[in-house]
Amino acid sequence: MLLKRGAEAELYLDTRYGRKVVVKKRVRKGYRIRELDEEIRSYRTSHEAVMMHKAKECGVPTPVIFLVDLVDKSIVMEYVGDVRLKDVLDSLPEEERRRILVEVGRMIGAMHSNGLIHGDLTTSNIILDEGRIYFIDFGLSEVSEELEKRGVDLHLMRRALESTHHLRSDEYFREVLLGYSEVVGEQETKRVLSKIEEIAKRGRYVSER
C-alpha cells in the first residue's frame, strides 16, 4: 500500500518477516541518463542507510533497517507508525509536549555533537509512537562538524515550528533548545543560536531584494 509519494522516493506499507514494514523505494527519473540515474539512486539509497545507522550509534531512535536493496534502490525498514509529530504536537498535554520537545532537542544535540547533520529537520520527519519519538528521512543527511551546517539544521526546525505551530513556535523552539543545550553545553548552544540568526538575516535580505 502506498503511504507517501515524494519527489525522490515512494513509501509503501508491506508485510515481511512476519511484521509490518515500510519500503522506501527511490524512483527512476526519466530526464536523467539511465546509467547516471542508476548510480545516483544507488548512492542515495546506501547513503541514507549509513546515515540512519550513524544516528543509531549516536543514541537517536530510528527505524530498524532490515534490508538495503541496491538493485531495487530500496530500503526495507521497521514500521514505527505514521503519526507525525507535526500533526499531534499542539493537541498533546502540556507536560507530555514539553517532555517530547526537550527530548527532540537532546536527540538533535546528540547528532550534532557526533558530527551528524540531519539535513531536513522538521516535525514532519519525527514520528511519535506511544510516547517514543523516531527520527526518519535521512536522505539529505551528511557528516560535518561545520557550525554553519548545525545552524541550518536548527534553522529548519525553527522554520517548521513557525509554519505549523506559529502561535506557540517560540515557546516550542525554546524547549528544543533546552534539550539541545543539555547535550552540547550552553556555550556551544549560544554559538549555534548566533549562526541561526545570521542565517535568518541572510534569508530576509534575499527575500527583500
| Beta carbons of 158 and 86 less than 8 angstroms apart | no
Which DSSP letter does residue 63 get?
P
| Beta carbons of 151 and 192 less than 8 angstroms apart | yes
Torsions phi, psi for 131 (to 5 deg): 85, -5
In the set 37, 87, 120, 137, the catalytic residue is: 120
- Nearest Cα neighbor of 124 from 152, 94, 93, 165 is 165
**How far apart, in Å, are the Cα atoms of 77 and each of 34, 67, 69?**
27, 7, 11
Q: How many residues are given for the chain? A: 209
Please say if 120 is a catalytic residue: yes
Three cell numbers at 182? 543539555
Q: How far apart are CA 91 and CA 167, in angstroms?
A: 13
- Residues that are catalytic: 120
